[in-house]
Amino acid sequence: MSEANSMYYPEVSAARAYISSQEPKKKEQTDVLLIVRTNKGFIATLLKADSVVRVSKIATLDKKIMLGTLGVVSNDTSNGIDARIRILFGI
């Protein structure tokens, strides 16, 4: 399948946001903080430390190069990420 066609077949590619355990020097409006002691669903993420989802750093990856999923975020966190995506794209 060509690269141009893969954008029309979501089962072939996946959008992912950058996650870092480094506290950003400047928090962006689109950042989502995942704090161990305050995030109810933190354990399910399988992250080892407080982290930040940098929604402004989204990449589309071919699923063939993805090795697997590390963990999941809670519905509340997912809703927060969705809201930041809407802010980022102005929708």
**Tell me: the pLDDT tens digits for 5-42?**
445 555 667 777 888 888 888 888 888 887 877 777 77
44 or 87: whose pLDDT is higher? Answer: 87
Q: Which CATH number fits domain 3-89: 2.30.30.110, 2.50.20.10, 3.40.1360.10, 2.60.40.1220?
A: 2.30.30.110
Half-sphere exposure of 12 (CA within 13 A, CB side): 9
Say what the pLDDT of residue 5 is. Answer: 46
DSSP 40: T
Strand order from edge to edge, sheet including 13-20: 13-20, 51-62, 31-34
pLDDT value at residue 9:
55
Q: Phi/psi of residue 81, each to 5°?
A: -65, -45
Read off the pLDDT of each residue in 60-67 and give the average, rounded to a whole number: 79
What is the residue extent of each domain of the chain? 3-89
